[in-house]
């Protein structure tokens, strides 16, 4: 089975057009999202007046201290998860690869839960738990890679099996750790594992920015290499790609993105799967445009889903990404099957 | 240009290649033939530096591929694998332009010169009309020619091709062989792995015949095809004839 879709070759004009549309679209969403909130008595939708933002009333406080940090965090998390999913799919040549199916999210969650249990949160705060999540993400990727490898190749089936196995093991181990925790720790763990952006502050966003920018920059830089890897490691090496270095860099950067995003918002599913697939069918498979567009598209999706989550009454954003993303992906799949534009069996 | 010296290779305890020595000079076209499972593809991969030999040495333009940057190797050597499958829906032109990787730097887009080189290579392989078509929607023979165009587009001084004419109709097989002969004429070292003994007899300067992981003959085509050890390896009798124009053909019985 291979993935088909896409369109004409990537020219400078097309690259500029896509990126311009993407940047403008995301900018509009970022400007509007913090103005949107639940209506009076939690019913309906209320749009905050832009003038109120610059005043010194309660609206300004909500905008600057609650909604803006949350929106920015949502954007960073979405961008990171989508770009990481795109990179995992490219390196592993596997349409099912994404942080969840590879066990990365579970690895990060287990490490974070252990960190909370060991009292890291009280010593080093949320930053300590976040660092543990990053380490957990990288460890899970390394483990899945080792388990899934057959010789020098990474067959899709064994890789996904290894990912699911690691994911289930980490999930079970996290439950065991939780069972040994006291009430305060357990509530912190539960809040963290449910995923959400409710308590995000601007300092969290600022702290997460450097690793996210670094991870994203590495992946965008590798765009041409990831294209060549679409034909497999040997074909990529024969045109000049340093395959081992590219795979290691891409895995490390993607794990850094996933770990950091999990540190901000806990595990959020579906984004790493649906955004690259939807965009590949729209802008084509060339990673020099697909990766930056995944950053923008992922950011827009999670900001949109988080806004819906806020309006619907403080749902965890992961619930909305799954509820909105699932049907959206199915529509793509069914449309793609009809027009043979998404999947192709061989 | 390409040199293997007393090379061995194997998977686990099983030796696939045993004591193979092979050279291909600039301006030479060498055909590597042998029955299925003889170790031809492994020898091609060893010569391309894609797998390191257990013992012996591999050299590409005098350099050890194991210690040379892959980009530098690719500037000198193009390799066409036996199977080429894409995970994503790139067009034929995009696939060919991947052959320009070793001559590009950084994450930028392809230049007009890259595109011109790719389109010229597509035209040489008679697939210019398929440039904008999706690679995975092409027929097996069309895909083969597109990947050959990628190898030609690399502009390397040495080319190794694993079954370049497999899945091609006779007209396109001859056209591909002629394109390889043209590469030889411009001074490239060309090594092809093939089951097409007619093509080997007509176009190769030398034939290297393998059986059971070892070289059994390495000489001019007529000599190798008449060699009793080679015929025994194939398990058939090979009859070499010549057309009025002097072109050789081979009939196996």
**CATH number for the domain that contains residue A253:** 1.10.3470.10
Band the pLDDT of A346: cuts 50, 70, 90.
Answer: very low
Q: Please name the fold of domain B2-252.
A: Rossmann fold (3.40.50)
Looking at residue A288, its pLDDT comes to 95
- Whether residue A344 is predicted with pLDDT greater than 60 in this model: the reply is no
Lowest mean pLDDT among A107-121, A181-195, B7-21, B150-164: A181-195
The rounded distance, in Å, linking the Cα atoms of B176 and B180 is: 6
How many Å apart are CA B1 and CA B76, to the nearest integer? 9
Each domain of chain B, given as residue ranges in start order, spans 2-252
| Interface contact flag, A3 B87, Cβ < 8 Å | yes
Residue A209: pLDDT band (50, 70, 90) is very high
* Interface confidence (ipTM) of the complex: 0.90
A258 has a pLDDT exceeding 70: yes
End-to-end CA distance of chain A: 6
Q: What per-residue confidence (pLDDT) applies to B117?
A: 93
**Each residue's pLDDT tens digit in chain B (253 positions)?**
999 999 999 987 788 999 999 999 999 999 999 999 999 999 999 999 999 999 999 999 999 998 999 999 999 999 999 889 888 889 999 999 999 999 888 778 888 899 999 999 999 999 999 999 999 899 988 999 999 999 999 989 999 999 998 888 899 898 889 999 999 999 999 999 999 999 999 999 999 999 999 999 999 999 999 999 999 999 888 888 888 888 888 888 8
pLDDT digits (tens, 9 = 90+) for A278-324: 899 889 999 999 999 999 999 999 999 999 988 887 778 888 888 87
Closest CB to B90 among A230, A237, A242:
A230
B-interface mutation test, from A85, A239, A282, most B Cβ less than 10 A away: A239
Tell me, yes or no, if A234 comes closer than 8 A to chain B by beta carbon: yes
A237 with B50: Cβ contact below 8 A: yes
pLDDT at A156: 66
Nearest CA in chain B to A238: B79
Closest CA to A138 of A259, A284, A5: A259
Q: Are A3 and B88 in contact (CB under 8 A)?
A: yes
Identify the pLDDT of residue A3. Answer: 38
B178, B180, B181, B182 alpha-carbon torsion, rounded to 10° = 90
Do residue A239 and residue B84 have CB atoms under 8 angstroms apart?
no
Structural domain range at position A138: 2-344
pLDDT, tens digit (0-9, with 9 covering 90-100), for A64-94: 888 999 999 999 999 999 999 999 999 888 7
At residue A313, the pLDDT reads 77
pLDDT band at A5 (very low <50, low <70, confident <90, very high): very low
Task: Reply yes or no on whether the pLDDT at A146 is more than 90.
Answer: no
**Nearest neighbour of A280 by CB, restricted to B50, B88, B108:** B88
Interface residue B165 vs chain A (CB under 8 A): no
pLDDT at B46: 96
Backbone CA torsion sign across B41, B44, B48, B50: positive
pLDDT at B130: 94
Average pLDDT over chain A, rounded to an integer = 85
**In the predicted model, what is the mean pLDDT of residues A150-159?**
71
Residue from the list B85, B88, B106 with its beta carbon closest to the beta carbon of A285: B88
What pLDDT does A52 receive? 80
pLDDT digits (tens, 9 = 90+) for B57-86: 999 999 999 899 999 999 999 999 988 988
Q: Is the pLDDT of residue A19 over 90?
A: yes
Instruction: Mark which residues 82-101 of B lie under 8 Å from A by CB.
Output: 84-91, 93-95, 97-99, 101
A58 part of contact set with chain B, CB < 8 Å: no
Chain B contacts of A4, Cβ < 8 Å?
A: 89, 134, 136-137
Q: Does B104 touch chain A (CB under 8 A)?
A: yes
Inter-chain contact B89–A3, Cβ cutoff 8 Å?
yes
Nearest 5°: CA angle at B120, between B116 and B121? 120
B59-B63-B66 Cα angle (round to 5): 80
CB A223 within 8 A of CB A291: yes
Going by their DSSP bridges, the two strands A45-47 and A343-344 should be labelled as unpaired
* Residues with Cβ within 8 Å of residue B47, at least 6 apart in sequence: B2, B4, B22, B24, B58, B60, B160, B191
Mean pLDDT of all residues in A237-252: 90
| Main-chain dihedrals φ then ψ at residue A166, nearest 5 degrees | -60, -40
Is A160's Cβ below 8 Å from some Cβ in B? no
Average pLDDT over residues A7-29: 88
Looking at residue A336, its pLDDT comes to 62
pLDDT at A340 over 60: no
Q: What is the mean pLDDT of residues A149-167?
A: 79
pLDDT at A193 over 50: yes
In angstroms, rounded to a whole number, what is the distance separating the alpha carbons of residues B224 and B207? 6
Distances (CA, A) of B114 to B82, B104, B129, B150: 25, 9, 18, 11
Question: What pLDDT band is residue A2 in, cutting at 50, 70 and 90?
Answer: very low
pLDDT surpasses 70 at A4: no
Nearest CA in chain B to A228: B98
Number of domains in chain A: 1
């Amino acid at each position: 089975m291979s993935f088909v879709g896409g369109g004409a070759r990537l020219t400078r004009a097309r690259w500029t057009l896509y990126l311009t549309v993407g940047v403008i679209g995301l900018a509009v969403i970022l400007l509007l999202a913090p103005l949107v909130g639940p209506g009076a008595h939690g019913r309906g939708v209320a749009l905050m007046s832009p003038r109120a933002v610059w005043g010194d009333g309660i609206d300004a406080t909500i905008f600057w201290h609650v909604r803006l940090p949350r929106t920015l965090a949502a954007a960073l998390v979405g961008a990171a998860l989508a770009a990481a999913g795109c990179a995992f799919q490219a390196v592993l040549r596997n349409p099912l690869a994404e942080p969840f199916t590879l066990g990365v999210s579970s690895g990060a969650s287990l490490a974070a839960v252990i960190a909370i249990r060991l009292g890291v949160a009280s010593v080093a705060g949320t930053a300590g738990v976040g660092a543990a999540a990053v380490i957990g993400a990288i460890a899970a990727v390394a483990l899945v890679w080792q388990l899934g490898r057959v010789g020098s190749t990474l067959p899709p089936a064994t890789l996904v099996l290894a990912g699911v196995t690691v994911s289930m093991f980490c999930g079970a181990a996290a439950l065991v750790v939780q069972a040994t925790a006291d009430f305060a720790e357990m509530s912190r763990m539960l809040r963290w594992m449910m995923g959400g952006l409710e308590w995000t502050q601007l300092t969290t966003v600022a702290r997460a920015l450097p690793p996210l920018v670094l991870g994203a920059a590495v992946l965008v830089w590798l765009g041409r290499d990831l294209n060549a890897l679409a034909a497999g490691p040997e074909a990529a090496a024969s045109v000049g790609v340093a395959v081992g270095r590219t795979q290691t860099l891409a895995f490390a950067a993607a794990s850094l993105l996933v770990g950091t995003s999990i540190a901000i918002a806990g595990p959020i599913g579906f984004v790493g799967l649906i955004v690259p697939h939807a965009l590949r069918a729209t802008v084509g498979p060339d990673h020099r445009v697909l990766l930056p567009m995944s950053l923008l598209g992922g950011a827009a999706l999670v900001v949109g889903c988080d806004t819906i989550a806020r309006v619907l009454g403080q749902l965890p954003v992961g619930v909305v990404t799954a509820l909105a993303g699932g049907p959206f992906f199915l529509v793509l799949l069914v449309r793609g099957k009809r027009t043979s534009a998404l999947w192709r069996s061989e | 240009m390409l040199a293997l010296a007393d090379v061995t290779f194997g998977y686990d305890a099983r030796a696939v290649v045993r004591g193979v020595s092979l050279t291909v000079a600039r301006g030479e076209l060498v055909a590597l033939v042998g029955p299925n499972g003889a170790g031809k593809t492994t020898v091609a991969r060893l010569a391309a530096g894609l797998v390191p030999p257990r013992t012996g040495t591999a050299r590409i333009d005098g350099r050890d591929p194991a210690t040379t940057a892959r980009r530098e190797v690719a500037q000198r050597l193009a390799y066409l694998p036996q199977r080429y499958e894409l995970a994503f829906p790139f067009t034929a032109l995009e696939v060919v332009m991947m052959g320009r990787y070793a001559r590009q730097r950084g994450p930028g887009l392809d230049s007009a010169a890259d595109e011109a080189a790719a389109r010229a290579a597509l035209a040489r392989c008679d697939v210019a009309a398929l440039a904008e078509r999706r690679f995975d929607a092409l027929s097996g023979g069309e895909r083969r020619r597109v990947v050959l165009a990628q190898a030609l587009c690399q502009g390397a001084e040495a080319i190794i091709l694993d079954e370049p004419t497999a899945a091609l109709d006779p007209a396109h097989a001859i056209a591909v062989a002629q394109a390889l002969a043209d590469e030889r004429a411009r001074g490239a070292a060309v090594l092809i792995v093939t089951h097409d003994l007619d093509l080997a007899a007509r176009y190769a300067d030398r034939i290297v015949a393998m059986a059971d992981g070892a070289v059994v003959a390495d000489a001019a085509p007529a000599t190798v095809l008449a060699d009793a050890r080679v015929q025994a390896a194939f398990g058939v009798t090979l009859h070499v004839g010549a057309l009025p124009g002097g072109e050789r053909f081979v009939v196996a019985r």
